[in-house]
Every structure is written in structure tokens, then in C-alpha cells.
């Protein structure tokens, strides 16, 4: 293919050529996808309906659930459909949309995790000023800035990636991943690849450094709390966030900064599944597993639903 135009299709990497493995992949991804969708919808629902959860921490958690919902929905359904139909095709416009949406949700996700670290810092290190600093207007402004950053992040990546001409349409990944697409370029456009890589790594590294610095201050303050119960309560609100940040950032950074020719397709596939599928699926469980407020809100919601059903009967 001498020059790939906007009317052409891309061919994505399939998990296997064996039909039974493709069907297994479809059902496995279906279970993971439904788990992620149900979990994030439950988080969104309980935060919206329970007024006790109308606090900055749960407001940002609800935004995180929306982003996770969007991120996994951009990538997994297309892969499932291709496995079910024994196809590898994705249209040029579909690939553009997938790159934009994945970068939009991923970029917003990283910034939101940074804001959530700041929220925990204010709550633990400056509790007397918490309501004044993290007021409703400030939280809404931070959320809007998060979504705006995601839009700009997506536009920059789409513009830089698809401004080049492609001499191949075979993407060595199960979705339109930017490093894999850039390698299809007809020319040695290292500046575009380096520029996008520097942009991504700078944004992620800056957020990561801020989070680490913030948590150093948080843990310093936590260990000064005299009561063991107080320390445990403070840590309980921080550890889930740190777990999510660690999984997302370490796998994402490794996937985008590793030498391109020193890894196999199997390794690339595994890493891509880890940083695109598992965080949206695990986040609701990580945040609700030891969170009594969400557990109580979910129980009350289910209890009220049961009562309503009985009254209707």
C-alpha cells in the first residue's frame, strides 16, 4: 500500500487465528467489560442518589467512574466485535475516533487522579480549611479543567498522528495505539513520534511527581496522628487511590517508553490489556471494597428498591 487514504481501513492485531480462541477472547472480554460497566455505573448511581456522598472526594470518584466507563467502551467493544465476526478491520475514521477518545479519557483520567491526590492532601494535612479550599465551585472548576485538558490532549494526539501518510494498514495492536500507528508512516518522521512521546511522558511524569510529593506530605502527617484508629482511617482513603495510580501509570509508561523492537507482540498485547481494561474494571472494587460509605449507600439503594418492588406487587 503506497499511500493510505482516509477511505482506507486499518487491520488490527488479532489475539489468535484459531476460531475457538477468538470466541474465548470474545466471552472473556465480555465478562471483563460487563464487570467494568456495572461496577462504574453503580459508583455513579450511588454517588448521584445518596446525598451523604455529595462531597468533593465522591464527586471526583464519580467523574473517575465516568472516564473509566468511556475508556473501556472506546476500546473493548470493537475488539469483541472483531473476534466474534472473525474480522480485523477498523475504518480510518473509526481509528481516528478511537485514538481521540482513548487519549481524551486517558488524559482526563491522569489529571483527575492528580486532583484526587490534592483533595486527600487538603483533607488530611489541612482539615480545618478543607471546606473553604475544596468548596463546590472549586471542585466544579477543577472537574471542568480536567475534561478540557482531555479534549486538548486528544486533539493534539490525533493531529500529530494522522497528519502523516501511511505505507501500511496493519496495526500491531488490538486497538489503534499511537506508537503502533506512527510506525506505519511512509517517512522517517521521528520528530512527530518523539514529540508525542515527550508530550505524553511529560504530562504523566509531571502528574506522577506531584502525586508522589503530595503523598510524602500526607504520610508524614498521618504518622503524626496519635491514635491508631485515626491513622487507619486516613490511610484507608489514600491506599485505594495509590493502587489505581500505580497500576495505570507504571503500565502505561512502560508500554509507551519501552524500546519498540525489544518486545514481542504478546508482551505488547498483555500490557495493553493491563492498562486499558483492568484499571476501569478494578477501580470500582478498589474504591468500594473497604469504603463503608459506598457500601452503606449501595445497601440503602438496594433496600429501597426492594421495598418499592414489594409495594408495587
User: What are the pLDDT tens digits along the chain (313 aa)?
Assistant: 445 555 578 999 888 888 898 999 999 999 999 999 999 999 999 999 888 889 999 999 999 999 999 999 999 999 999 999 999 999 999 999 999 999 999 999 999 999 999 999 999 888 889 999 999 999 999 999 999 999 999 998 888 888 878 888 899 889 998 888 888 887 665 566 667 777 777 887 888 889 989 989 998 888 888 888 878 877 777 888 888 887 777 766 666 666 555 455 677 787 788 888 888 888 888 887 667 788 888 888 777 766 555 555 5
Domain-located, residue 247:
yes
Domain-located, residue 23:
yes
DSSP string spanning 133-153? HT-HHHHHHHHHHHHHHHHHH
What is the C-alpha to C-alpha distance for residues 52 and 7, in angstroms, rounded to an integer? Answer: 51
Domain-located, residue 4:
no
Are the C-beta atoms of residues 86 and 117 closer than 8 Å to each other? no
The domain that contains 199 carries what CATH number? 1.20.1070.10
Domain span holding position 137: 9-312
Domain-located, residue 2:
no
Nearest to 44 by CA among 72, 18, 63: 63
Domain-located, residue 3:
no
Cell of 75: 476500546
Domain-located, residue 201:
yes
Are the C-beta atoms of residues 172 and 265 closer than 8 Å to each other? yes
Domain-located, residue 131:
yes
Q: What's the total number of domains in the chain?
A: 1
Nearest to 216 by CA among 84, 95, 124, 91: 124
Domain-located, residue 21:
yes
Amino acid at each position: 500500500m503506497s499511500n493510505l487514504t482516509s477511505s482506507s481501513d486499518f487491520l488490527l492485531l488479532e489475539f489468535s487465528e484459531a476460531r475457538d480462541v477468538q470466541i474465548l477472547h470474545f466471552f472473556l472480554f465480555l465478562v471483563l467489560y460487563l464487570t467494568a460497566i456495572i461496577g462504574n455505573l453503580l459508583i455513579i448511581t450511588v454517588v448521584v442518589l445518596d446525598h451523604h456522598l455529595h462531597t468533593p472526594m465522591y464527586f471526583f470518584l464519580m467523574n473517575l467512574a465516568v472516564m473509566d466507563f468511556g475508556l473501556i467502551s472506546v476500546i473493548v467493544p470493537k475488539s469483541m466485535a472483531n473476534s466474534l465476526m472473525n474480522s480485523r478491520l477498523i475504518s480510518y475514521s473509526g481509528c481516528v475516533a478511537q485514538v481521540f477518545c482513548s487519549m481524551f479519557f486517558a488524559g482526563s483520567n491522569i489529571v483527575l487522579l492528580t486532583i484526587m491526590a490534592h483533595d486527600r492532601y487538603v483533607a488530611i494535612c489541612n482539615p480545618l480549611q478543607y471546606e473553604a479550599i475544596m468548596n463546590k465551585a472549586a471542585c466544579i472548576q477543577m472537574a471542568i479543567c480536567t475534561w478540557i485538558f482531555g479534549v486538548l490532549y486528544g486533539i493534539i494526539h490525533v493531529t500529530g498522528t494522522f497528519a502523516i501518510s501511511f505505507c501500511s494498514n496493519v496495526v500491531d495492536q488490538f486497538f489503534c495505539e499511537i506508537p503502533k500507528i506512527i510506525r506505519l508512516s511512509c517517512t522517517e518522521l521521528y520528530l512527530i513520534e518523539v514529540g508525542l512521546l515527550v508530550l505524553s511522558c511529560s504530562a504523566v511524569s509531571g502528574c506522577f511527581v506531584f502525586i508522589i510529593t503530595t503523598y510524602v506530605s500526607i504520610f508524614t502527617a498521618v504518622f503524626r496522628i496519635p491514635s491508631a484508629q485515626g491513622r487507619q482511617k486516613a490511610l484507608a482513603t489514600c491506599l485505594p487511590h495509590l493502587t489505581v495510580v500505580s497500576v495505570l501509570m507504571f503500565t502505561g509508561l512502560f508500554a509507551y517508553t519501552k524500546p519498540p523492537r525489544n518486545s514481542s507482540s504478546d508482551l505488547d498485547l498483555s500490557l495493553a490489556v493491563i492498562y486499558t481494561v483492568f484499571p476501569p474494571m478494578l477501580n470500582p472494587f478498589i474504591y468500594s471494597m473497604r469504603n463503608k460509605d459506598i457500601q452503606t449507600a449501595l445497601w440503602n439503594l438496594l433496600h429501597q428498591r426492594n421495598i418499592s418492588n414489594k409495594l408495587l406487587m
